[in-house]
Structure 1
């Protein structure tokens, strides 16, 4: 059984993209060459590594085992490159960072920009995912660092505090729920689910998280419109079109903050801490450890 680094990197890219075609493109290989390499690995092992379907490919149990070892080998190569970086020029590091919506939109950009300005030879592959999916990906060694809410089980991973992140209810001043509410009022989410909502467009991790809370109460939330930014949502809420659940920081910095009533939610899931998570800080490449240090540093 002989696999080279090209085989292993190709297999990682195929699994990450869910497609041999896309994996071949990311590995800069012709599709025929990539397919031949995958078949060669399967023949060498004597077992299938991929389940092929109409929607793409998924790893078999043997494929998941290979995936685990391929991650370790490629990460070891990255660590070696980082450790030798002071003796060579032109080497680049690569960090795969997974983040939930709140961290990605509210807290991450400034700190990440600072890190990247100080590390021009390090590339960051940033992807938005649900916190539960991020934890699973970290355990499977599919990423270097993740940012998740403390509501998910991160056992088996090392964590550091990134930010405090409270979700609040944003209401227009004329909204029926806003009338009669005292300052510093707190409401349960169950008091809101019958009303129309304004939400984020696309497959937002935060939107899925809020939808899950409604489902637990037996309600499918009604969205009048979905928009692409927190600021746009605040403007729509201020106009009276509906209410929204948003990170408190997004509402406070909104240009329409004066036209909104902000109500804290009584539900425990709304009081969140955002955590940096990783399998092992000590085993990360040096530049990835520096990223963790920058993100964990207090403002």
Structure 2
């Protein structure tokens, strides 16, 4: 899970960094930018993930916090579908940087860094009590935490 969630009663162990980026069709006015604040894109139409997606809920929560609601043109079930719709000019999208990199060559959109602090997250493993984890699991979590610098 992302560290952005409320993990009531659970401990979160960061294991990977997760940076969110804005993706835009090649000809879009924001496409030439290297960095953008989310608020600068809020008047644009978006391609989003399906309703109920934790990432999509997170993005929409930040839009509301900025006093906007996203204008959604279409909701897609997969990241690849979202990236393809963005490349065809349907709207902008927000995806993890690794996802953007994976599909960029195939679909030809532009990737723009989101300058907002909330776009820099950690992916975490959850557990209730460190003492109840097996020794191999504790070792794995220590190793993964050390790799992310957490």
TM-score category (smaller protein): 0.7 to 0.9
Query: 3-state SS of the aligned residue for 1:252?
Result: helix
Question: Does residue 143 of structure 2 align to residue 290 of structure 1?
Answer: no
Instruction: Please list, as runs of the form range in 1=range in 2, the aligned pairs for 1:228-247 lying within 5 A after superposition.
Output: 228-247=77-96
CA RMSD in angstroms comes to 2.7
Judging by fraction of residues, say which structure has more strand.
2
1:115 corresponds to = none
Asked if the contact 1:165–1:272 (Cα under 8 Å) also holds between the matched residues in 2, the reply is yes
Instruction: Please list, as runs of the form range in 1=range in 2, the aligned pairs for 1:82-101 lying within 5 A after superposition.
Output: 99-100=1-2
TM-score, normalised with respect to structure 1? 0.44
Asked if the contact 1:230–1:250 (Cα under 8 Å) also holds between the matched residues in 2, the reply is yes
Asked if the contact 1:164–1:274 (Cα under 8 Å) also holds between the matched residues in 2, the reply is yes
Asked if the contact 1:214–1:220 (Cα under 8 Å) also holds between the matched residues in 2, the reply is yes
Match of 2:113 among 258, 264, 289: 264
Q: Which protein has greater RCO, CA pairs closer than 8 Å, 6+ apart?
A: 2
1:167 corresponds to = 20
Gaps of 5+ in 2: none
Question: Does residue 57 of structure 2 align to residue 205 of structure 1?
Answer: no
Match of 1:225 among 74, 91, 94: 74
Q: Identify the range of structure 1 (271-280 vs 166-175) with the bigger mean alpha-carbon deviation.
A: 271-280
Query: 3-state SS of the aligned residue for 2:98?
Result: helix
Gaps of 5+ in 1: 1-98, 104-129, 140-145, 147-156
Judging by fraction of residues, say which structure has more helix.
1
Q: Which has the higher Rg, Structure 1 or Structure 2?
A: 1
Query: 3-state SS of the aligned residue for 2:52?
Result: coil
The CA deviation at 1:295 is: 9.5
Query: 3-state SS of the aligned residue for 2:19?
Result: strand
The CA deviation at 1:296 is: 5.4
Structure 2 CA distance for partners of 1:295 and 1:166, relative to 1, 3 Å: farther
Equivalenced residue count is 146
Asked if the contact 1:276–1:292 (Cα under 8 Å) also holds between the matched residues in 2, the reply is no
1:193 corresponds to = 42
Structure 2 CA distance for partners of 1:296 and 1:131, relative to 1, 3 Å: farther
The CA deviation at 1:201 is: 1.1
